[in-house]
Structure 1
Amino acid sequence: MKTSNNVFAVALHNRLLDPLVILGSLYASMLAFDERLNGYYLVLGIITFFICSYVFEQVDQRRSFDKITLWTITREIIVEWIIIVAVILFMGVATGLAFQFSEPVVEVWFVIAPLALIATRSILQKINANLNEGGGQRSAVIVGVNEVGLKLARRTSEYHNVDINVHGFFDDRDISRQTSAEKIQPLGGMADIAAYVRQHNINIIYISQPISAQPRILQLLEDLQDTTASIYFLPDIYVFDLIQPRFDYVGGMPVVAICESPFTGIDHIIKRSSDIVLALAIQILLLPIMLCIALAVKLTSPGPVIFRQRRYGLDGEEIMVYKFRSMAVCDDGDNIVQATKGDLRVTKLGGFLRRTSLDELPQFINVLQGRMSIVGPRPHAVAHNELYRKQIKGYMLRHKVRPGITGWAQVNGSRGETDTLDKMKTRIDLDLDYLRRWSLMLDLSIIFKTVMVVLKRENAH
């Protein structure tokens, strides 16, 4: 468990401050050389913001602001900045944008940005140290040798930003009666906890006991009333496979989220902002290509240019999804047959558009409308949803987020036709895994992997 101040410091840097400091350094370099802000620098700023968020999120769980030296801060920043610069230079040379910027501006930016990062992180470290009462590492014990308690103990040692030293476990059962895979010799029984806490000045007690142990828990709470230890209860719901679990309050009453969308609070703002920025940029860059495709579709086969199909969107609400028409028919009824290899309904141009995923380009309009996201579970036809929701457990949970143009399933071999129930189950498992694991870093990695998958042209019919 993280201290609240440390959580604030880490999240603030990873999600906002570090990228803004780097962008501020770029703008300062431009002012120093009297360079005007133009479209190229705006694109550079947008790309840099997302790259920084991607890199800094890698150290989200490893970074600590409580007890680190200036040398540690400097070393971390130098490594992170080298990675960021390498990615920026590679993308700049690959796209030709590198030659659109003033060399002195970029060179000075590469120098002053890490210095600015070192200064801001050092200041935040000092502020955070003052906010943490008493500072230093806190001591803890865990009541109950079970999978949940053991998992918490492992986390306190694995994550560097968790300054908690677990002394051990208390349990009325001896080793022979423990049900967990890992056997632990307890420090004593529940009746011994209060004395141990007073003797060793324990700061935190984590109670990992089932509800059926309520009488013993009540007795323990009574025994601990004359200590100053903080007491936390670890509910055994965490042994289940949860989706974005978190605590919240409704009218002052605590509630536990068992299955929740990952896009709440600041994460919702980050997700939607990244969608809008990237969708706008892609639409502007690919507008000439989209106009050519539209003209080609119109001239090569009769029918509308844009194919509209009903799909399920956020919270299971019906939405209209746009695609360039790739078939001679426009099926949107109760019985829809998925396209297969060699499908006669697919036009010659449509086959090329489907293999290269160019038929999906109009869906960036859906993103700007707020109906879809760039990354998320792929939307299925309404007829397919009604079929599979009855056959696959947890199928509709994928609709807790906006559907995506690409997704975790598509870059993990589950792109294209799902001609068997097992294939569809695999796709749904990957969609739900995306909900559990979501981060901006994951979204960016999926986008990069999608480009590689499209170039290989696998499983697209």
Structure 2
Amino acid sequence: MTNLKKRERAKTNASLISMVQRFSDITIMFGGLWFICEVSGLPFLYMHLLVALITLVVFQMLGGMTDFYRSWRGVKISTELTLLLQNWTLSLIFSAGLVAFNNDFDNRLATWLAWYALSSLGLVLCRSFIRFGAGWLRNRGYNIRRVAVAGDLPAGQALLDSFRHEPWLGFEVVGVYHDPKPGGVSADWVGNFEQLIDDAKASLIHNVYIAMSMSDGAMVKKLVRELADTTCSVILIPDVFTFTILHSRVEEMSGVPVVPLYDTPLSGINRLLKRVEDIVLASLILLLISPVLCCIALAVKLSSPGPVIFRQTRYGMDGMPIKVWKFRSMRVMENDNVVTQATQKRSPRDKGR
């Protein structure tokens, strides 16, 4: 059997789980809308089927854009469920916008909210069941992946320790491979790099995590080149102690892989969702605390002469200037240890009134 065929066979279990996830998503979305129509006494018409299809297509497109149907082994379930609800929410909003002015579809808000709530519950429960079911099987020896670390970075040892403490992930620890050093070797040491390559070629290891410092670049290249001729999945653990890249992600610029050290925290779908969330939540919060704000404004006005609020320039996303309204009593970064009150119309804090 060629290495390519072996690699494809190793991905069978992940593909099977992905198929189950896709089928469950389709069933829950269609079934959720049908159930709401049945309970509400509404006939399940062609328009309902069309809306469900549109929602499903958008959901699958978002799944491809966010790599949603990948293997989630070793990733927190909260991360998976958050992305699941995010994609489902955006899909439903898109569909609702398309049929908002179509009189052939029941556009009552209660129908949309009920469908959203019921399907959200079903998606979360089903995805949790799949995750814990797979973990239960792995905990009993099914679909086990034998893993090893190449190198002696602390991050590699920490990864192996986490695999031992979480057997439901389905990882069996082989050990750590690296060339012996004068200071000795760790308790998990099982051999040098030549032994690692031999074990990998003998199909004794499924995943190899390379945990080596940037100064060992030549050895890393050699290992990657040698392991490319095996059935192992090779994963690089970045040297997070050289740069602050613990929360960075790998991107590609003109075919060259790059790792942003400092970047805009939100982009794409996440940025759109955050913007909608900011507007909705800010409006609701302002409405709720408006009586308190009025009381504060009255207290500021009675305490001393001058304007109640002032406007200052701040910088938001992408360095764009934004206008921020503040009560006169508030401190700002430019104040240092001196607070200048805007009690006169020409006060430096009385900007843009």
- For normalisation by structure 1, the TM-score amounts to 0.42
Q: Equivalent of 2:179, from 160, 163, 172?
A: 172
For the 8 Å contact 2:307–2:342, the answer to whether it is kept is: no
> Which SS does the other structure have where 1:150 is aligned?
helix
In structure 2, what residue type is equivalent to 1:280?
S
Q: Equivalent of 1:321, from 321, 324, 333?
A: 324
For the 8 Å contact 1:191–1:220, the answer to whether it is kept is: no
| Structure 2 residue aligned with 1:144 | 151
Q: 1:168 to 1:123 in 2, by over 3 A?
A: closer
Q: Equivalent of 2:209, from 184, 206, 209?
A: 206
Cα distance, 1:238 vs structure 2: 4.6
Deviation per residue, 1:248-272 (Å, 9 max, x gap)? 1112211112233432344434433
> Which SS does the other structure have where 2:190 is aligned?
coil
Q: 1:305 to 1:193 in 2, by over 3 A?
A: same
| Structure 1 residue aligned with 2:280 | 277
| Structure 2 residue aligned with 1:153 | 160
Cα distance, 1:216 vs structure 2: 3.5
Query: Distance between the aligned counterparts of 1:312 and 1:116, measured in 2?
Result: 39
Q: 1:63 to 1:166 in 2, by over 3 A?
A: farther
Q: Equivalent of 1:61, from 52, 73, 76?
A: 76
Query: Distance between the aligned counterparts of 1:334 and 1:211, measured in 2?
Result: 41
For the 8 Å contact 1:141–1:167, the answer to whether it is kept is: yes
For the 8 Å contact 2:150–2:193, the answer to whether it is kept is: yes
In structure 2, what residue type is equivalent to 1:259?
Y
Q: 1:300 to 1:212 in 2, by over 3 A?
A: closer
Q: 1:268 to 1:111 in 2, by over 3 A?
A: closer
Query: Distance between the aligned counterparts of 2:337 and 2:191, measured in 1?
Result: 64
Deviation per residue, 1:102-150 (Å, 9 max, x gap)? xxxx9xxx999867754565578899xxxxxxx8222222111221321
Query: Distance between the aligned counterparts of 1:115 and 1:224, measured in 2?
Result: 42
Q: 1:193 to 1:113 in 2, by over 3 A?
A: closer
Q: Equivalent of 1:253, from 235, 253, 256?
A: 256
Query: Distance between the aligned counterparts of 1:163 and 1:276, measured in 2?
Result: 42
In structure 2, what residue type is equivalent to 1:210?
S
In structure 2, what residue type is equivalent to 1:136?
N
For the 8 Å contact 1:249–1:255, the answer to whether it is kept is: yes
| Structure 1 residue aligned with 2:306 | 303
Report the RMSD for the aligned CA atoms in angstroms: 5.1
| Structure 1 residue aligned with 2:223 | 220
Deviation per residue, 1:164-223 (Å, 9 max, x gap)? 323111111157345xxxx33521111122221233532222222234434444443454
> Which SS does the other structure have where 2:266 is aligned?
coil
| Structure 2 residue aligned with 1:230 | 233
| Structure 1 residue aligned with 2:100 | none
Aligned-pair identity (%): 29
Cα distance, 1:61 vs structure 2: 1.6
In structure 2, what residue type is equivalent to 1:151?
A
Deviation per residue, 1:248-307 (Å, 9 max, x gap)? 111221111223343234443443332222101112233454455545645664322321
> Which SS does the other structure have where 2:161 is aligned?
helix
Q: 1:209 to 1:116 in 2, by over 3 A?
A: closer
For the 8 Å contact 1:244–1:261, the answer to whether it is kept is: no
Count of paired positions:
253
Query: Distance between the aligned counterparts of 1:257 and 1:228, measured in 2?
Result: 30
Query: Distance between the aligned counterparts of 1:334 and 1:202, measured in 2?
Result: 58
For the 8 Å contact 1:61–1:161, the answer to whether it is kept is: no
Q: 1:333 to 1:147 in 2, by over 3 A?
A: closer
- For normalisation by structure 2, the TM-score amounts to 0.53
1:332-343 matches, within 5 Å, as: 337-339=337-339
Cα distance, 1:228 vs structure 2: 1.7
| Structure 1 residue aligned with 2:111 | none
**1:191 aligned onto 2:194:** yes
Query: Distance between the aligned counterparts of 1:153 and 1:325, measured in 2?
Result: 55
Query: Distance between the aligned counterparts of 2:320 and 2:123, measured in 1?
Result: 46
Query: Distance between the aligned counterparts of 1:269 and 1:193, measured in 2?
Result: 46
Q: 1:168 to 1:298 in 2, by over 3 A?
A: same
> Which SS does the other structure have where 2:189 is aligned?
coil
> Which SS does the other structure have where 2:271 is aligned?
helix
Q: 1:161 to 1:263 in 2, by over 3 A?
A: farther
> Which SS does the other structure have where 2:284 is aligned?
helix
Query: Distance between the aligned counterparts of 2:214 and 2:126, measured in 1?
Result: 49
Q: 1:253 to 1:159 in 2, by over 3 A?
A: farther
> Which SS does the other structure have where 1:236 is aligned?
coil
Query: Distance between the aligned counterparts of 1:287 and 1:33, measured in 2?
Result: 41
For the 8 Å contact 1:308–1:320, the answer to whether it is kept is: yes
> Which SS does the other structure have where 2:310 is aligned?
strand
In structure 2, what residue type is equivalent to 1:262?
P
For the 8 Å contact 1:175–1:184, the answer to whether it is kept is: no
Query: Distance between the aligned counterparts of 2:211 and 2:260, measured in 1?
Result: 18
Query: Distance between the aligned counterparts of 2:274 and 2:213, measured in 1?
Result: 37
Q: 1:30 to 1:263 in 2, by over 3 A?
A: farther
User: Which protein has greater RCO, CA pairs closer than 8 Å, 6+ apart?
Assistant: 1
For the 8 Å contact 2:328–2:342, the answer to whether it is kept is: no
Q: 1:243 to 1:141 in 2, by over 3 A?
A: closer
Q: 1:227 to 1:244 in 2, by over 3 A?
A: closer
